A = this chain, B = another copy of it.
């Protein structure tokens, strides 16, 4: 039998709050998705002005990061023409996102969930996703 660590809804809210604060700082209304370690949605917020297309893309970035246990940005590099994962971006009906903004949340080396941001540039999306994770980790004693 396995024992799995997984983000709670309270953790998910903290991830959203931390990332949203960064999004407000940089002035980009974001779509923010938090999934558990299986890529299943826990929480989502579209800030007023966030993009309609990003309601799906944010969820799929988090799904990809949790499910594949890696950042979507790492896939961007690995899936360029001539690289080993070339073509992976259309896998799973196009849900496998290879654009930066999806980052797994790791606790003690284990993926416990993931964060997906979308509506800004990929670099902005990734910056806000990391800010969400930093905010969560700062609230866990001993980290």
Chain A residues within CB distance 8 Å of chain B: 1-9, 11-12, 36, 38-48, 51-57, 60, 63-64, 66-69, 75-76, 79-82, 84-94, 96-100, 107, 112, 121-123
- A85's nearest neighbour on chain B, judged by CB, is B99
Cα A35 to Cα B67 with chains together (Å): 15
CB–CB A2/B92 < 8 A:
no
CB–CB B38/A2 < 8 A:
no
Cα A68 to Cα B49 with chains together (Å): 11
Residues of B within 8 A of A1 (CB): 5-8, 11, 107, 112
- Min Cβ gap A95→B in Å is 8
CB–CB A48/B2 < 8 A:
yes
